[in-house]
Amino acid sequence: MLNEYELVKRISSDLKIFKFSCESNETYKSRLIYSAVAEWARSMLSNKSFFDVNNYENYKDKGVDKLHIIKRLTQISHAMIFSIYCERRWFEKFTNEIEIAKDISGDLAKKVLKDMIFINEFPKVKQDNTNELGRHRHISIPNRYILFNKRCLILGGGQSDYKDKIIFSGCGRWIEDNNLIKKIKFTDEYCLQLDLKIYYNSLIKNAAWSKTESLFLKQLKIFDLKSSYFNQYEKGWVIDYSNSLEDDVYIGKKDNSYYLIKKYLNKMEIASLNSEWYGNEREILRVIYSMRKIKNIQTFYKLNVGNDFVKIKLENPVPKSEEIILKLASWELENMNNKNERIMRVDLWNEIKEIFILLGLTEKEY
């Protein structure tokens, strides 16, 4: 049986995760445990992959039960946390030492599964005789290789053909070997988003504008683009001040539906936005970023660059696609429930930083 030193050395060597110069040994080992449990989750579903993510019919009775995944990951988390001297507060804060064995192992298991679902690696399986996705069974997607600048991101839960060349970061897997990258048949190249001004002009030009009743407009909440509450997103939606709007384009919201509102020469027009895309995928945030850019309203994020690490603090929410990339490239800082601060390798930050620059974010000192 391996002792703690040998176990940490083995996991570190397998996942190619090493201690940052800015962190303690205990925090480093907490990051290591998180990524190890994420890879255990992949291994549980690695033989449950399917080739067409839109074709559930042949897989409706397959997949792995959600409760089984959590149970097994809890056991694995417990074994690792109590075999490795780590920073337990990285996983959760508790005052009762006796509760730690039960609570943080289960919390870590649920957190890992939640993250794997969020990054779209563990889709849900359709139930028998229904068109709804099952709540309790998951399957993995086939591997996809996505080329960034100098690194390749592996998406999917299957075992990779390049296992010995993979580096792990957060819940993501990357290949940095340039000679190997040249041989890989890529599924896709990561498509950077459009410049925000081009995005905004295209959105306004192609929106399906129509006249609307003032009564309906009064039912909308309108996002205050100049609000200091962008970092407290829900507070940015202001209840009905449509009568005082100047000639311009605005974003409106009613329940879970979003709208563009255009006022010109006292005439009001409205265009509906797709709820799935702009709501569930949080693309409404990209619209907000683009409008702030057009109005020269700066949006900041904090950055601390060291020799081997980058700390990033997002002061405002980002669209889901950008958050997925962050989860695939970094760990939460100090606590796994820290939604705004993350830490990652310098080389991976150089791969992904362009997506935040294109989002209109301006760097300031951490």
- The confidence score (pLDDT) of residue 240 equals 61
Q: Which residue has the tokens 């005082």?
A: 244
Helix (H, G, I), strand (E, B) or coil at 148: coil
Q: Report the relative pairing of strands 257-264 and 248-254 from DSSP bridges.
A: antiparallel
CA atoms within 13 A on the CB side of 302: 10
Q: Which residue has the tokens 């943080």?
A: 104
**pLDDT tens-digit series, residues 221-278:** 888 887 665 666 777 887 665 567 788 899 999 888 999 999 888 788 899 999 899 9
Average pLDDT over residues 103-110: 88
Per-residue pLDDT band for 27 (boundaries 50, 70, 90) equals very high
Give the mean pLDDT of the chain.
83
**Given a cut of 50, is residue 52 above it in pLDDT?**
no
Per-residue pLDDT band for 3 (boundaries 50, 70, 90) equals confident
Lowest mean pLDDT, pick from 112-121, 152-161, 242-251, 335-344: 152-161
- The confidence score (pLDDT) of residue 110 equals 93
Report the first-to-last Cα separation within the chain, whole angstroms: 43
Looking at the chain, the whole-number percentage of residues with pLDDT higher than 90 is 41
Q: How far apart are CA 214 and CA 319, in angstroms?
A: 30
- The confidence score (pLDDT) of residue 53 equals 35
Cβ neighbours for 128, distance < 8 A, ≥ 6 positions apart: 60, 61
CB neighbourhood size of 26 (10 A): 14
- The confidence score (pLDDT) of residue 299 equals 86
Average pLDDT over residues 22-31: 95
**pLDDT tens-digit series, residues 162-219:** 777 889 999 999 998 888 877 776 666 566 667 889 999 999 999 999 987 776 777 8
Q: Please give the residue that has the higher pLDDT: either 140 or 80.
A: 80
Per-residue pLDDT band for 120 (boundaries 50, 70, 90) equals confident
Contact call for residues 143 and 160 (beta carbons, < 8 A): yes
Contact call for residues 68 and 43 (beta carbons, < 8 A): no
Q: How far apart are CA 71 and CA 76, in angstroms?
A: 9
Give just the sign of the alpha carbon dihedral 289, 293, 298, 300: positive
Q: What is the pTM of this model?
A: 0.87
Cα–Cα distances (Å) from 199 to 275, 286, 360, in that order, read 18, 9, 12
Run of H or E residues at 239: strand 237-239
- The confidence score (pLDDT) of residue 229 equals 56
- The confidence score (pLDDT) of residue 127 equals 58
